[in-house]
Chains A and B, each alone.
Chain A
């Protein structure tokens, strides 16, 4: 069977969803799918664009697993502008070639518009639309700051969603930012005047200037021709070294226009409820589509259109019946949500308002004339009720509406349950019934399984807590236990087990499993117990029975690599190392033929050490003054630092000294997951402190402390925890924060999810640390003091103990004989383990061509 040809113009989020939906339904058996995108990247999450500032790798934003584009029958042409559609011949022109199509989908999205302001084309003027826009904006701000030798003044024209997002980005880059809105209040499309006023107050408190009812009239350049000043219609002027236009978007419909397709008065390709345009072979979806009399400027409706088209192409009869235009955003750290009939346009509707100007909170519910049915609402400053309220739109609220508007911390008065058809995930159109069905029909018993099964919570993630609650309620109803047990041997969470060990003063694993568990333990609970016992100061990791419960890394105090050898990482506190130290490390590496690499944490990793070589290698390092870097442990890894004021011309504090002090203080601290800290000497943040569990950034007055950041599989930006702390206060706060985390987090739970899981969130942790709200601060302080006092270098202690050294034998009956199966090849002047093919050749005794490999066993 010859396959039909589908061409998709545009490779944004909606185009991605279309292809995904086609593939999911097996349509790639019937269709060859060709996608043309003008950006050089595969489709990425444009909604999360601002996170690109904290998260400098644009690849982190890519949608899906990338496998989609490698499937047979699916092709993505990147950097390909479609220049013409020939409807007669059913062809499109791109890449100087002609492509045939049977069906065509236009998914070209929209442009950011720039108002006709004089000077809006000057260097330093930007829009906020693509990864490239954001990257250029970031580079501009960094360069201008360096050139001007002062903070950059930024202006954002437009106080809507995108404008506030751009203002957040500029502020994060260290610019002093002014937002200019033509309307009388911020976010005029989503909130009313009172809500806009509340929003403005909070934003101004963060140091962002806001000017409403203001029109920009012209931009002026400096002598170099770069934008420097902005003038308003009333004649006032402000300094502006960078200007971002966020004044709206216009559908990219010129290709469709030129092809003679019908377009709307204010732009957009007119399509019917089947997403078909005036040419029945051509569909339009996403922000370029004009359906049911309007444009749909959110990704949720675009996704629905994509699903409709996928269904139609397979002979289905799905229709697009409009979509939920609710939004919830965190702009500049402020929650803003708007849903349903937020402006009370319905006849006779009633508005219930709660406002706390001091706290910067404004909440409004729009109710039907009998005050029974929820029609919509807006939440500014505290949108915690959003996930529960939005699915209730059009339904009886079942309780006093004012109860929903009370300050945070109160349980929402749901009482009743969400009906099955209530939409809980508007990004992916998933109903409460579907989530329940995941439990009842597909045996999903954890949130990851529910996400994979239903897609709920996989886009913006704002509904995850609601989805989890629905899942757990359904599980309880099915008589399924919501399982929090560590493993089959212990019915406790890690935090409970910690308390058990602490309170009953248990000091060995066998005692623990005998009194509180079953069986012999396993690779899950043994290392957890090892960590807990270590945190409670039960001696060297290899002492007595402790040796039997350490994972291999902790057991040999080195990191297991793929060929069974280990890597060695000496501690280099704060990344500071003497030339003599470097020479010793280099000499050890040369003598043992170790592959050498600088790690991401400002240390040196030496690879390829065999188990029986570890003591001799460490003897050399310990003699030279190095100690264990604990690179193998779930424990403190590094405290990264920038150069700080001792050398850097911008530094305002001595970040290196603080980093060294902190690393020495917390070295050896065992925790639920690895811990990383960083200290930056100024707001330029060269140590990337906000990507760490605890990040410290120097200010003129002291230290700002951030918590809950991490890299890894789910990167997180750390949140501001406290400002302008003295060094003494800072250290006490970190002591308490870390010790509280060590005691209460789940196994392998990093600080970011821990902060979310603590009841009351980061606020509650702040109260524990600074106000001693639980009355445990003295206990936490004492525990950290005990750790600091009891610290000894594990490797130095091991080298002094023959019994421990005996464990570093390659074979119990041939302790010095190297593993005979290790084979290496040389690459870029160093050795690495041979891969399967290379091994076969090397073991057969010949050499590998091209690479000029040599056996260096």
Chain B
């Protein structure tokens, strides 16, 4: 399965609070920030704790960069790039998103993860 997947209505997302979504076989964390039109999508899997919890982290900013902090042990990640700001060797996968007709859509690349 690849291409744009319709996930939920924009209204279903609480501003500045994440929500988890199943996109294909992937668990994705969606964040709708209160001051932008854009919806961020990153892995729901926290690479540090290996638990599917990223959508439950707090959004925020660090030096102007929009972030989400893992709710498990508070490492911050750049919502735009997925880069962990506390450990340069770790990052979350970032998923392309768009809002169309009031629906949030996430693009699944051709091949992600193990075949």
Contact = CB atoms under 8 A, between A and B. Distances in A.
Interface string B1-23: 00000011000111111011110
B14 A564 contact: no
A210 B78 CA distance: 67
A150 interface: no
A503 interface: no
B53 interface: yes
A145 interface: no
Contacts of A346: none
Contact of A523 (B19, B27, B49, B76): B76
Nearest to B7: A813
Interface in B38-97: 45, 49-53, 56-64, 66-67, 69, 71-72, 74, 76
B72 A560 contact: yes
Interface string A550-576: 011001100010111000000000000
Given A563-B51, A821-B52, A810 B20 contact: yes
B20 to A, nearest CB: 5
Given A488-B63, A551-B71, A552-B71, A522 B19 contact: no
Contacts of A564: 49, 51-53
B61 A522 contact: yes
Quick one: which of B34, B52, B67 has the most chain A CB within 10 A? B52
Given A520-B66, A813-B21, A819 B60 contact: no
B71 A811 contact: no
Interface in A294-317: none
Contact of B22 (A521, A545, A814): A814
Interface string A149-186: 00000000000000000000000000000000000000
Contact of A812 (B7, B45, B52, B58): B7
A112 interface: no
Contacts of B62: 488, 519, 522
A58 B66 CA distance: 47
A813 B69 CA distance: 23
Contact of A521 (B17, B49, B60): B60
B65 to A, nearest CB: 9
Given A560-B71, A813-B21, A523 B58 contact: yes
Contacts of A812: 7-8, 12-13, 19-21, 30
A817 B27 CA distance: 12
Contacts of B14: 547-548, 807
Interface residues on B, range: 35 or more
Interface residues of A, number: 35
B22 A813 contact: yes
A526 interface: yes
B22 A562 contact: no
A527 B60 CA distance: 11
Contacts of B56: 552, 555-556, 560, 611
A418 B76 CA distance: 42
Majority-rule SS of A interface residues: loop
Contacts of A522: 58, 60-62, 67, 69, 76
A564 B63 CA distance: 29
A552 B7 contact: no
Given A812-B7, A813-B8, A520 B60 contact: yes
Contacts of A547: 14, 17
A46 interface: no
A630 to B, nearest CB: 18
Given A549-B58, A812-B8, A562 B49 contact: yes
A812 B18 CA distance: 10
A510 interface: yes
A75 interface: no
B34 A811 contact: no
A839 to B, nearest CB: 9
A566 to B, nearest CB: 10
Contacts of A821: 27, 45, 52
B58 A551 contact: yes
A563 B51 CA distance: 5
Contacts of B33: 520
Contacts of B52: 564, 819, 821
Contacts of A810: 20
Nearest to B106: A813
A523 B74 contact: yes
Contacts of A527: 58
A27 interface: no
A809 B49 contact: no
Interface in A499-529: 510, 519-523, 525-527
A540 interface: no
Interface in A770-818: 807, 809-814, 817
6 cross-chain pairs, A with B, having the tightest CB-CB distances, nearest first: A522-B60, A564-B51, A520-B61, A523-B69, A552-B71, A519-B61
Given A521-B58, A812-B30, 9 more contacts: A510-B34, A523-B57, A525-B60, A548-B59, A560-B56, A564-B49, A564-B52, A809-B19, A813-B22
8 contacts: A510-B34, A523-B74, A526-B58, A548-B16, A551-B71, A807-B14, A812-B20, A813-B22
